[in-house]
Amino acid sequence: MADILLIEPDRLLADTYLQALAMAGHSVGVCVGAQAAIMVADQTKPDLVVLELQLTSHSGIEFLYEFRSYPEWQKIPVVVQSHVPVTEFADSWDLLNKELGVVAYLYKPQTSLDKLVKTVNQQLAVKA
């Protein structure tokens, strides 16, 4: 079992992802925005973050910069699961992967719950 921080702005999708991850045995904290996510991360010390990049007010990229600025959070894997296709980051994948620690990128419309859970478990296994 791991502590997952799920940053998902849509309430209905967040409920569905939460249930799927909880069924896989994980403890899940849900935040709709970047600011709240930083506070929740401080309280819950997550083992892994699942992040949507399109958030209200502050983007997922802004969250990543803030998140990685704290030494204790630099090695926590981040799985991006977003409405934004990964092809839009073709030129900046190195930035996302190497500098901001995005270990996997899932395009939301093509990601089943099963695939999300498998990806999360794989990344947790790599971390361990």
Residues of this chain that bind other proteins (CB under 8 A): 9-13, 16-17, 19-20, 23, 32-33, 35-36, 52, 54-57, 59, 83-84, 108-109, 112-114
Residue nearer to other proteins on the CB measure, 103 or 116: 116
Q: What does residue 27 show for φ and ψ, rounded to 5 degrees?
A: -95, 125
Q: In whole angstroms, how close is the CB of 49 to other proteins at the nearest point?
A: 17
Residue nearer to other proteins on the CB measure, 12 or 128: 12
Query: Whose structure tokens read 């099963």?
Result: 114
Q: In whole angstroms, how close is the CB of 100 to other proteins at the nearest point?
A: 19
Q: For residues 35 and 43, give the distance between their C-alpha atoms in angstroms, rounded to a whole number.
A: 13
Tokens representing residue 51 in the block: 């992040």
Inter-CA distances, 54 with 34, 84, 128, Å: 10, 8, 29
Residue nearer to other proteins on the CB measure, 12 or 125: 12
Q: In whole angstroms, how close is the CB of 93 to other proteins at the nearest point?
A: 18
Tokens representing residue 100 in the block: 């901001």
Residue nearer to other proteins on the CB measure, 56 or 128: 56
Q: In whole angstroms, how close is the CB of 42 to other proteins at the nearest point?
A: 15
- Neighbouring residues of 122: CB distance < 8 A, sequence distance ≥ 6: 104
Asked if 62 contacts 86 with a C-beta cutoff of 8 angstroms, the reply is no
